[in-house]
Amino acid sequence: MIKKWWHDKVAYQIYPKSFCDSNGDGIGDIRGIISKLDYLQDLGVDIIWLSPCYSSPLADQGYDISDYYNIDPRFGTMEDMEHLIKEAKKRNMYILMDLVVNHCSDEHEWFKKACEDPDGKYGKFFYLRDKDGDKLPTNWRSCFGGPVWEDLPGTNKQYLHIFHKKQPDLNWENPELREEVYKNINWWLDKGLGGFRIDAIINIKKALPFRDYTPDREDGLCNIGEMLKDAKGIGEFLGEMRDRTFKKYDAFSVGEVFNEKPEEIPDFIGENGYFSSMFDFNEASFGQSIKGCYDAKQITPDDYKNCCFEAQKKIGNIGFLSNIIENHDEPRGVSHYIPQGDCCPESKKMLAALNFMLRGIPFIYQGQELGMENIEFTSIEQVDDISTLDEYQVALNAGLSPEDALKAVAKFSRDNARTPMQWSDTLHAGFTTGTPWLNVNPNYTRINAAAQQNDPDSVRSFYKKLIALRKNPDYKETIVYGSLEPVWREQHNLMAYYRTGDKTLLVIGNYQREYQKITLPTPYKKILINNYADLAEENNAITLHGYQVVILEM
């Protein structure tokens, strides 16, 4: 395997709107990010992925871009962005921006021009179809509810939007559109970016010609996944994009890829793959229901283990997954993956170690290093996110009471991860001096960075130790490139695996509140990580406390 600069890195995702507000308007901004670079460096972070901060009406919090060449004034200026890249570089850190090119905003110039002249150049930048009375071109459901078709203002046409109606899909079949995309990517890479996280990229290829699929809900529509399964030939677009952009800069690219087919993995992330890496969503998507998130199945510790191992097996040593516990689209991992009632510093550390030691590139989402938890919603009024609001409606339509619908969607709401970062126990968690755009989780008095930074036993200090271990010259080779082999896979509520390279490491997590005894095949040499002060042992057997995790050198 040819070594790449990103293989041994640790990445951190920032959701700019909720990270740090420098000017008191209640919205996080780039200057706020710059003020926290030392905090991130202290943690050991190398790569920072910024969720979008381009010009945007923020209908989907910046995933609806109205100008790819500008920073939204709410987040700062282009000078701020250049300053951020420079300040990061000083600290040997790389900045990734979010590449959102499946769609733009309906307030983008291209879309406005398409409305003015749907048969002209810019009409061809989108998927437009002639209106045919009440009949829609297809019965596909958009990801945020309702059909994917919307009237193109001022015309007799309709446009396609896989996401919100303020996010019209761009037509990748049109080479002129692709040129525009590549030009923009290179323009940013010329500014010194380390690369991109690539949004919703699997959606850029549509199955043509358009056709209906079997409806899966009362609304007569079908999940967009049906069409995507049918779409062939995305590789031509992705390979072209790689060659025209990332490859020339040796840039890091990580794709938001769902439902890839096993035989496609080498093309996606093998040597000379379309991307440097792609996210593992196997755990996050476990239990999802076609009916909506009110019908989702709760994941158990054994499911979690199996999801991780399946993903690891699928990738093997073909390339590098990017491993996450959460992101801005998911509930907080500690609230989601730890059985109810058991969320505590020990279990949070266990989850951290089990995920962090997997083969791949670890991504930490802001606040994850503090063990930030889901927020309690007492009313749907407190929810801002368009996806959650849609899921609430879906739950009501399915017959749930407003109370049950709220409970059901609150567990999965994307706003759980979007509450402001908890910096301190002062007003608004130190996120802003003004009024935060989204409520701060009231547990900030207990869970915050200031309290954890100097506490050697905090969740954050544990993350620091995991990061330091990954960078330790004695273990780095094994942790980054070593193989992964599950062990005691059938043992209930136990997740354990070997990482084998020039060293042999054994990661063992007792994924339950009761203790658990394990007989080691050979004596260990050294305890590298332990989330408890002790390790109970007798001959070759160890007894782990509830949620104890250890990393042993064998």
Position closest to ligand TEU via CB: 63
Q: At what angle do helices 386-397 and 402-410 cross, to 10 degrees?
A: 140
Q: Using CB under 5 A, which residues numbered 14 to 73 contact Ca ion?
A: 21, 23, 25, 27, 29
Q: Are 365 and 417 in contact (CB under 8 A)?
A: yes
Site for ligand TEU in 131-150 (CB under 6 A): 143
Closest CB to ligand TEU among 253 and 548?
253
Instruction: Give the relative orientation of helices 459-471 and 345-356 as an angle to the nearest 10 degrees.
Output: 20
The nearer residue to ligand TEU, 257 or 449, going by C-beta atoms, is: 257
Residue 53 CB, shortest distance to ligand TEU, in Å, is 13
Nearest distance from residue 22's CB to Ca ion, in Å?
A: 6
What the block records as the tokens of 301 is 């510790």
Q: Which of Ca ion, ligand TEU, none has residue 200 at its interface (CB below 5 to 8 Å by kind)?
A: ligand TEU
Instruction: Tell me how many residues contact ligand TEU (CB under 6 A).
Output: 12
- Taking the least distance from each CB to Ca ion, the nearer of 78 and 541 is 78
Choose the one of Ca ion, ligand TEU, none that binds residue 226, judging by a C-beta under 5 to 8 angstroms depending on kind. none
In degrees and rounded to multiples of 5, residue 140 shows phi and psi of -80, 140
Q: Determine contact, residues 358/318, Cβ cutoff 8 Å.
A: no
Asked if 282 is part of the footprint of Ca ion (rule: CB under 5 A), the reply reads no
Nearest distance, CB of residue 106 and ligand TEU, angstroms: 13
Question: Is 199 in the active site?
Answer: yes
CB of 325 to ligand TEU, least distance (A): 15
Minimum CB distance to ligand TEU, residue 76 (Å): 21
- Among the listed residues 199, 330, 369, 385, the single catalytic one is 199
From the list ligand TEU, Ca ion, none, pick the one residue 95 interacts with, judged by a Cβ distance below 5 to 8 Å according to partner type.
Answer: none
* Nearest CA-CA partner of 368 in 329, 405, 421: 421
And the tokens for 73?
A: 């004034």
Residue with nearest beta carbon to Ca ion: 29
Residues 158-177: x where in contact with ligand TEU by CB under 6 A, - otherwise, as a string: -----x--------------
Site for ligand TEU in 218-247 (CB under 6 A): none
Size of the site for Ca ion (CB under 5 A): 5
Cβ nearer to ligand TEU, comparing 406 with 495: 406
Kindly state the tokens that stand for 194: 């380390």
Q: Alpha carbon of 157 to those of 140, 173, 213, 305, 387: distances in Å?
A: 17, 19, 22, 49, 26
Whose CA is closest to 21, among 429, 405, 522? 429
**Nearest distance from residue 76's CB to Ca ion, in Å?**
8
Which of 46, 72, 199, 346 touches ligand TEU (CB under 6 A)?
A: 199
Is-catalytic flag, 403? no
DSSP 8-class letter at 377? P
| Residue 23 interacting partner from Ca ion, ligand TEU, none (CB closer than 5 to 8 Å by kind) | Ca ion
- Based on CB atoms, which residue is closest to Ca ion, 17 or 328? 17
Residue with tokens 């080691």: 520
Q: Which does 507 bind (CB under 5 to 8 A by kind): ligand TEU, Ca ion, none?
A: none
Using CB under 6 A as the binding rule, whether residue 279 contacts ligand TEU is answered as: no
Residues 435 and 431: their CA atoms lie apart, in Å, by 10
φ, ψ (nearest 5 deg) of residue 16: -50, -40
Near ligand TEU in 391-420, by CB under 6 A: 414
Among Ca ion, ligand TEU, none, the one that 63 touches (CB under a kind-dependent 5 to 8 A) is: ligand TEU
Among 107, 212, 329, 342, binds ligand TEU (CB under 6 A): 329
Residue of 29, 72, 106, 256 with catalytic role: 256
Per rule CB under 5 A, is residue 101 in the interface with Ca ion? no
Cβ atoms within 10 Å, residue 216: 16
Please choose which of Ca ion, ligand TEU, none residue 27 contacts, taking the beta carbon within 5 to 8 angstroms, the exact cut-off set by kind: Ca ion
Q: Which is nearer to ligand TEU, 361 or 507 (CB)?
A: 361
Chain-centre distance for alpha carbon 8: 19
Instruction: Provide CB contacts within 8 A for 394, sequence distance 6+.
Output: 145, 291, 292, 293, 294
Residue 274, C-beta contacts closer than 8 angstroms, at least 6 positions apart: 235, 238, 239, 241, 242, 253, 255, 267, 268
Residue pair 117/172 in contact (Cβ under 8 Å)? The answer is no
Strand order in the sheet with 549-553: 483-487, 494-500, 504-510, 549-553, 526-530
Helix (H) or strand (E) holding 197: strand 195-198
Helix segments in 273-385, DSSP class H:
301-315, 333-337, 345-356
Catalog residues that contact Ca ion under the rule CB under 5 A. Answer: 21, 23, 25, 27, 29
Which residues form the catalytic set?
199, 256
Catalog residues that contact ligand TEU under the rule CB under 6 A. Answer: 60, 63, 100, 143, 163, 199-200, 256, 328-329, 387, 414
